[in-house]
Chain A
Amino acid sequence: DSGVTQTPKHLITATGQRVTLRCSPRSGDLSVYWYQQSLDQGLQFLIQYYNGEERAKGNILERFSAQQFPDLHSELNLSSLELGDSALYFCASSPSHPTPVSEQYFGPGTRLTVT
């Protein structure tokens, strides 16, 4: 158990809908990262927040957005869902920033299925 929690574990929804994925980082971790893992693309970095502020952006679609709240939990919002958005969405947290390198601890993931 990494200490990172994600809800829900599974989500099934229809195309065009909007969903919100939630992540609670490990106690004391200020950085939260979101990743998408699909069969064809592998694991891809989406976005990072540090202490409430966006820190880095990766391959995140404009239909997707995220935020980190004062209590440090984070939400990833996915809208106008398409079949291709079906994937595992992981949240990770790390102890501090900035550091040149630091290990990220991953949550169990949310499996999103768009039908």
Chain B
Amino acid sequence: SQELEQSPQSLIVQEGKNLTINCTSSKTLYGLYWYKQKYGEGLIFLMMLQKGGEEKSHEKITAKLDEKKQQSSLHITASQPSHAGIYLCGADSQGGSEKLVFGKGTKLTVNP
């Protein structure tokens, strides 16, 4: 079965700093999703990447998909306390299904 490994597991940065979170799949990626979760709350959909080389941005968050490496990265520029939370990557595990598998998450803390 497909597994997603996220790195780092946790990250503490100073406000204003840039950071990158990685998500590596054990199998071919058919679709890669990034979600953000605040403690004990629901997941907020951030971005979906479908094609190799695809790059999407929303405000100060940019996600890229490297199909060959079976990897996606999430980059936050000039981080703010509002970016704090848990970032989860999810992947379409069977190509054509909507059964998502998720990484364990990266916990981001942004210190003011």
Contact = CB atoms under 8 A, between A and B. Distances in A.
B45 A42 contact: no
Interface in A47-90: 48, 55-56, 58, 88, 90
Contacts of A55: 98
A104 B105 contact: no
A4 B88 CA distance: 19
Contacts of A88: 40
Contact of B42 (A58, A98, A107): A107
A97 B96 CA distance: 10
Given A101-B48, A101-B50, A103-B33, A108 B96 contact: no
A35 B90 CA distance: 12
Interface pairs A-B: 6 shortest CB-CB: A101-B31, A106-B43, A43-B102, A108-B42, A106-B42, A42-B104
Given A45-B101, A103-B45, 19 more contacts: A2-B42, A42-B102, A42-B103, A42-B104, A43-B88, A43-B105, A48-B99, A90-B43, A100-B31, A100-B92, A100-B95, A101-B98, A104-B45, A104-B100, A106-B35, A106-B43, A106-B44, A109-B41, A111-B40
Interface of B: 30-31, 33, 35, 40-45, 48, 50, 88, 90, 92, 95-105
